[in-house]
Amino acid sequence: MATLQPPPAPDAASAIQAFSTSARQAFEDFLEGHSSRYHISRQKRANIISLLIDDQRAPINQIEHSQRHHAVHSFRYDAASDILLALPSEGHSGERQVVVQEEIFKVIEQEHLLSKHAGQNMTWAAIRNTYYGIARGEVEYLVKQCEICHKKALNRSRGPFIPIISTELFERV
């Protein structure tokens, strides 16, 4: 199976670990508690690939027939690069790489670092159009755990508050 490459360090700030090991563990616990029908385990990925590759085998029951139909109409397997792709569908004009559940953390982390900690919306936009099997809630949960983003937020100065003192009625209107 093709593995995701670690992202290049976009700047010196990314050399600092963005997500702690406790954040990783909390995210794994989050995934266990929030299952999704779009999550694909390694076993499910292997089953989809076998259904796509072995198209001459006759289904033995209705369930296998339905699974084959879903696999053929929803996925494509690129054997040369060992990548399973989700075919274009409603709201997605292009093919997207299928991410197994065990690699969701790596993908979100990689895209968040490549976006240079641009936030939840930018990270989600990059993931939504490129990958299949990751929900927006998962991106939001993990990006909220980013230590670098927390430090950047603390450094934003809002300036001092200056009280408005008026002596006349309707003076500021």
Residue extents of the structural domains in the chain: 20-37+101-153, 41-98
Beta-strand ranges (E) seen in 10-125 are 75-78, 83-86, 96-98
Q: What is the pTM of this model?
A: 0.75
Q: What is the pLDDT along the chain (173 residues), one digit of tens a residue?
A: 555 555 554 444 445 678 888 888 999 999 888 878 888 999 999 999 999 998 787 878 999 899 999 999 999 999 999 999 999 988 888 999 999 999 999 999 999 999 998 889 999 999 999 999 999 999 999 999 888 887 777 666 666 777 777 788 887 76
Query: What's the rounded Cα separation, in Å, for the pair 168 and 109?
Result: 56
Of the candidates 51, 129, 55, the residue with the CA atom closest to the CA atom of residue 88: 129
Neighbouring-strand partners of residue 100: 40
